[in-house]
Amino acid sequence: MSQSMSRVSKCIDNDVCEGFQGQFKDMLFILYPNITSKEEMRQAIKGTLDYYINHYPQKRLNGKTCGQVRKESLEQNEFTQYPIIPARRYVRYWNEIESKKKHQKEIIIEEIKNNPNQIGMGC
C-alpha cells in the first residue's frame, strides 16, 4: 500500500483519515505479513477491515469494538430519523456545502433567465 492524501485544503478530515490509514496499515502488516499477490492483498484488506470493525476493542469506546458501538446506537435510536447523531462540526461543514450548491444553482438559473438565447451554446 502506498501513501495517500486527503482532499486538497479540506483539513476537517485529514487527521482522521491519516490516523485511521496508519493504524489500518499497521494492523494489515501484522495480521498478513507475507502478501505476494493482488488477490492476497484484497483478502488481507477485507480481513483487516473485518478485524478492525468486529474484533478490535478500542480504549476510546470503553473496550468495545466499532461494530458493537454502531449496533448499540442503531438499537437505541431505531425509531428516530437519524439513528447516529453526527458531530456538529461535520453538520455545519455539509450545510455550508449545500448552501453553496444552492447559491450556485440560483446564479445559473438567473443567468438562464437573463440570457435565454445562450442556452446550449457552451457559454
Shared domain check, 93 and 69: no
- Domain residues for 102? 86-113
Give the tens place of pLDDT for each residue, 22-80. Answer: 889 999 999 999 999 999 999 999 999 999 999 999 888 889 998 998 888 777 655 55
Shared domain check, 64 and 39: yes
Shared domain check, 59 and 41: yes
* Residue 81 falls inside a structural domain: no
User: Helix 66-76 crosses helix 38-54 at what angle (to 10 degrees)?
Assistant: 50
Q: What pLDDT is stored for residue 35 in this prediction?
A: 92
Q: What mean pLDDT, rounded, does the chain reach?
A: 80
Shared domain check, 61 and 102: no
Contacts of 37 (CB under 8 A, 6+ apart): none
* Residue 123 falls inside a structural domain: no
Shared domain check, 72 and 23: yes
Q: Which residue has the cell 446550449?
A: 120
- Does residue 117 register a pLDDT over 80? no
Shared domain check, 92 and 42: no
Residues of the chain by 3-state class (helix, strand, coil), percent to 5? 65, 0, 35
* Residue 92 falls inside a structural domain: yes
Residues above pLDDT 70, as percent of the chain: 73
Number of domains in the chain: 2
pTM: 0.51
Give the tens place of pLDDT for each residue, 51-64. Answer: 999 999 988 888 99
